[in-house]
Amino acid sequence: MMRRPPYPAILETRKEIEKHINELLDMDVIRKIGHNAIVEITTPVPITWHDGKSRLVVDLRALNSYTKAGRYPIPRITHSLDKR
Please give the pLDDT value at position 3.
Answer: 66
Please give the pLDDT value at position 69.
Answer: 72
Please give the pLDDT value at position 1.
Answer: 55
Picking from 41, 45, 40, 35, the residue whose alpha carbon sits closest to that of residue 10 is: 45
* CA quadruple 15, 19, 22, 28: dihedral, nearest 10: -140
> Does CATH number 3.10.10.10 belong to domain 1-66?
yes
Q: Tens-of-pLDDT digits for all 84 residues of the chain? A: 566 676 777 888 888 888 988 999 999 998 887 665 555 667 788 888 899 888 888 878 777 777 777 777 778 888 888 776
Number of C-alpha atoms within 13 angstroms, CB side, residue 72? 0
What kind and span of H or E run contains 48? strand 45-48
